Structure 1
Amino acid sequence: MPQPLSRIVSQLKSEPSRTGSLIVTVFGDAVVPRGGTVWLGTLLEFFAGLDIDGGVVRTAMSRLTAEGWFERTKSGRNSFYRLTRRGEQTFAAATRHIYDSPPSEWNGSFELLLIGSADDREQARTALRDAGFGSPLPGVFVAPSRIAVPDAAEGAIRLQASAGSDMARRLVAESWALERTAEAYRKFSASFAPLRFTMDRGEALSDSQAFTARILLIHHYRRIVLRDPQLPVELLPKDWPGRQARALCGEIYRLLLPGSERWLDDHATNEEGPLPPAGAALTGRFAGDAEPL
């Protein structure tokens, strides 16, 4: 295993168990584009390559299924998993957030939501955060206009407000913890830039290593970008590290895609046999992103 990939795997093992989160990454990144159903044995084979015990994987799958993310079917002694309808809807939104290019322009206005009840605020907080809203004050949520308001906040008072660039940047600084997100992007780039350098030098990865690297790449990137409101460029600090991290992620992803897809061709199955090939949407991921400097 190339040293940069070995270091990334070692870093994963040094963290608290994230098996459930890794399963979510495998489904969203690799299984959904190939029909959405996979044999448990395929997952066990992947996790065995990370030295994660099969019992830990089975426990994580049972927990995610009990929480309503997956549904299980059986054929003989074999178990197969696919997303529930709720899981499909959540994954569809996350897929757009991870792989589609973020907005580049701002129209000069914000969407303001006012929620008076503390209970209502608490119930809507996670959905609003995931949709890209920040909060400068208790009960006040803000996002650049054109962001869809989630159903959880349908009872909020809605206002449109315009702001000049200086005032807008102050509002952004008070509404989102951007420096924490920026630091996470810097750490991501520092961890994965050596892997790109290794591949640029022509050091080949096996198909298994390519799939492992692809899943860990998206696993780390997903954890940052889904917390990133992806504000228009005009509202972000200068030298925003998210741009470089996204370009780096897209470049590595494209390099890993052929080998990782071959691994899926050879090892991933569902009830009917090998997983069907992915559609054109897979190769369109990270399309249009600039190359990292």
Structure 2
Amino acid sequence: MRDAINRFSDALDTTPVRAWSLIVSIYGDCVMPRGGELWLGTLTELLAALDVEPGSTRTAMSRLARDGFLERHRVGRTSHYRLSGEALALSRRAERLIYRTTAPTPPPGWEMVVTLPPGAADRKQLARAGYAALVPGVYARPHADDAPPPPDAVIRLTATGDDAALATALYPLADIAARYHGFITATAQITPYAEDADPLQALALRIMLVHGFRRIVLRDPHLSRDARPADWPADAAYRAFATLYRRLEPLSDSWLDDNAQNAAGPLPKPDDARRFCDPTPATVDM
């Protein structure tokens, strides 16, 4: 089964696996619905099933705490980590993007921002908010009613036009489509192994599934139907994700029920009723 998990990771193009990135996926998928806090010992055991050494886990946790993603507190000699307020908000947005049965489909139209002066705004912050550079100092993203607001020091505009042409100019759509196709193939290849997995193996497969899908979904600009290329594979990838996730969920949850701890003891049962309940009309969150 370890070889199968490694092949799954390779097929999902998640190698090299970075411990801090896996931890982000674990907190978003497993910890956030169960109170948001996890004992470091539980996390270390879980990451060991994914070939992450304890030293790498500790280093990654220190980095995430230093960067403000996690907050640490000690109970006696044990360390416990929970999502910071900002990280929780980001994880909630990602959750609404990931745990769906169909791809988000915003209405046609674009939001544009102009930086004042050109280049003054933080490009990484704009990218995290879903914007791509159209020309120097001008950024655009697909319209979305509940998308995060743009950074300060910008003029915000709305625009309409040739959605498909603008999308092609702004985003590497062929690369994103190829990643979706690769994900569909990888999930088909790993599905037979899910039948023979024990609880920890099922959880390891589930984490790699979420981790691989998250990396694609957060690159996808989630275009309106008018802006998408023909035969856009996102809906098929979302169906593949939802099907395999649901197959792995009962067994993998049993490992968390029996083994995962926070400062108060066993983790509570998951509060994940929002997952796979696609809103109508669907809107995009970055």
With normalisation by structure 2, the TM-score equals: 0.88
In terms of fraction of residues, the more helix-rich structure is 1
Residues 54 and 261 of structure 1: CA distance in aligned 2, closer, same or farther (over 3 Å)? same
- 2:105 maps to 1:104: yes
Out of 212, 216, 222, which is 1:230 matched to?
222
Contact 2:36 2:83 in 1 (8 A): yes
Query: What SS does structure 1 have at the residue aligned with 2:180?
Result: helix
- 2:174 maps to 1:184: no
Q: Which residue of 2 aligns with 1:246?
A: 238
Residue 210 of structure 1 deviates from its aligned partner by: 0.8
Within 5 Å, give how 1:253-268 maps onto structure 2: 253-268=245-260
- Measured in 2, the distance between the counterparts of 1:226 and 1:103 equals 12
Name the count of aligned residue pairs. 278
Residues 52 and 161 of structure 1: CA distance in aligned 2, closer, same or farther (over 3 Å)? closer
- Measured in 2, the distance between the counterparts of 1:16 and 1:60 equals 15
Q: Which residue of 2 aligns with 1:215?
A: 207
Q: Which residue of 1 aligns with 2:283?
A: none
Q: Which residue of 1 aligns with 2:275?
A: 285
With normalisation by structure 1, the TM-score equals: 0.86
Contact 2:206 2:245 in 1 (8 A): yes
- Measured in 1, the distance between the counterparts of 2:13 and 2:112 equals 42
Residues 112 and 97 of structure 1: CA distance in aligned 2, closer, same or farther (over 3 Å)? same
Query: What SS does structure 1 have at the residue aligned with 2:98?
Result: helix
> Quick check: 225-234 or 189-198, which moved more?
189-198
- Measured in 1, the distance between the counterparts of 2:39 and 2:2 equals 29
- 2:62 maps to 1:62: yes
Query: What SS does structure 2 have at the residue aligned with 1:159?
Result: strand
Query: What SS does structure 1 have at the residue aligned with 2:141?
Result: strand
Residues 105 and 119 of structure 1: CA distance in aligned 2, closer, same or farther (over 3 Å)? closer
Q: Which residue of 1 aligns with 2:29?
A: 29
Query: What SS does structure 1 have at the residue aligned with 2:120?
Result: helix
Out of 194, 212, 217, which is 2:189 matched to?
194
**RMSD of aligned Cα (Å):** 2.5
Out of 161, 167, 170, which is 2:165 matched to?
170
Contact 1:103 1:233 in 2 (8 A): no
Query: What SS does structure 2 have at the residue aligned with 1:235?
Result: coil
- Measured in 2, the distance between the counterparts of 1:5 and 1:129 equals 31
Q: Which residue of 2 aligns with 1:161?
A: 159
